[in-house]
Structure 1
Amino acid sequence: MARERLAAEREKHRAAEKRRRALIVGASVVCVLGLAAVVGVVAANAGKDKGSASSGPVVAPSGAQGKDSLAVPVGQDGAKSTLTIWEDFRCPACKAFETAYRPTLHELVDAGKLRIEYHLVTLIDGNLGGTGSRNAANAAACAQDAGKFRDFHDVLYENQPEETDDAFAGNDKLIQLAGKVEGLNTPAFQKCVRNGTHNSWVEKSNQAFQAAKFGGTPTVLLDGKNIYQDQTMTPAKLKQLVEDANNG
Structure 2
Amino acid sequence: MSDKNSEGKRSARERLQAEREREKARGKRKRALVVAGGIIAVLAIAAAVGIVVSNTKSGTSGTVTPPKGAVGKNSLAIPVGRNGAPSTLTVYEDFRCPACDAFEKSFRDTVHGLMDSGQLKGEYHLVRLIDGNTGGTGSLNAANAAACAQDAGKFREYHDVLYDNQPDEREDKFADKNYLLQLADKVPGLKTPAFTSCVHDGTYNGWVDKSNADFNSSGFSSTPTILLNGKSIFGENQPLTPDILKSDVAAANKGKPIPSS
Conserved 8 A contact 2:12-2:102:
no
Further displaced range: 106-115 or 226-235 = 226-235
Conserved 8 A contact 1:23-1:232:
no
**Does 1:125 find its partner at 2:119?**
no
1:111 aligns to what?
117
Residue of 34, 42, 45 corresponding to 2:28: 34
2:42 aligns to what?
none
**Does 1:68 find its partner at 2:74?**
yes
Unaligned runs of 5+ in 1: 1-10, 38-53
Q: 1:24 to 1:149 in 2, by over 3 A?
A: farther
**Deviation at 1:145?**
0.2
Residue of 237, 241, 247 corresponding to 2:244: 237
Q: 1:35 to 1:190 in 2, by over 3 A?
A: farther
Q: 1:140 to 1:104 in 2, by over 3 A?
A: same
Conserved 8 A contact 2:127-2:139:
yes
Unaligned runs of 5+ in 2: 32-59, 256-261
**Deviation at 1:29?**
3.1
1:208 aligns to what?
214
Q: Say which SS state the counterpart of residue 123 (structure 2) adopts.
A: strand
Distance 1:199 1:55 in 2: 13
Distance 1:168 1:17 in 2: 29
2:95 aligns to what?
89
Further displaced range: 21-30 or 82-91 = 21-30
Conserved 8 A contact 1:24-1:234:
no
1:161 aligns to what?
167
Distance 2:156 2:217 in 1: 26
1:5 aligns to what?
none
1:199 aligns to what?
205
1:147 aligns to what?
153
- 1:163-202 residue pairs with structure 2 within 5 A? 163-202=169-208
TM-score by length of 1: 0.82
Can you list the C-alpha shifts for 1:5-37, whole angstroms capped at 9, x where unaligned? Answer: xxxxxx9xxx89964644695365353223559
Distance 2:20 2:175 in 1: 24
TM-score by length of 2: 0.78
Conserved 8 A contact 2:12-2:106:
no
Distance 2:106 2:171 in 1: 23
RMSD: 2.4
Can you list the C-alpha shifts for 1:124-153, whole angstroms capped at 9, x where unaligned? Answer: 000111100000000000000000000000
**Deviation at 1:80?**
1.1
**Deviation at 1:154?**
0.2
Distance 1:99 1:18 in 2: 10
Conserved 8 A contact 2:19-2:99:
no
Q: Report the number of matched residues.
A: 219
The residue identity in structure 1 corresponding to 2:245 is L
1:46 aligns to what?
none
Distance 2:230 2:164 in 1: 28
Q: 1:75 to 1:127 in 2, by over 3 A?
A: same
**Deviation at 1:247?**
2.7
Q: Which has the higher contact order (CA 8 A, sep 6+)?
A: 1
**Percent identity of paired positions between Structure 1 and Structure 2:** 57
Q: 1:137 to 1:192 in 2, by over 3 A?
A: same
Q: 1:22 to 1:128 in 2, by over 3 A?
A: closer
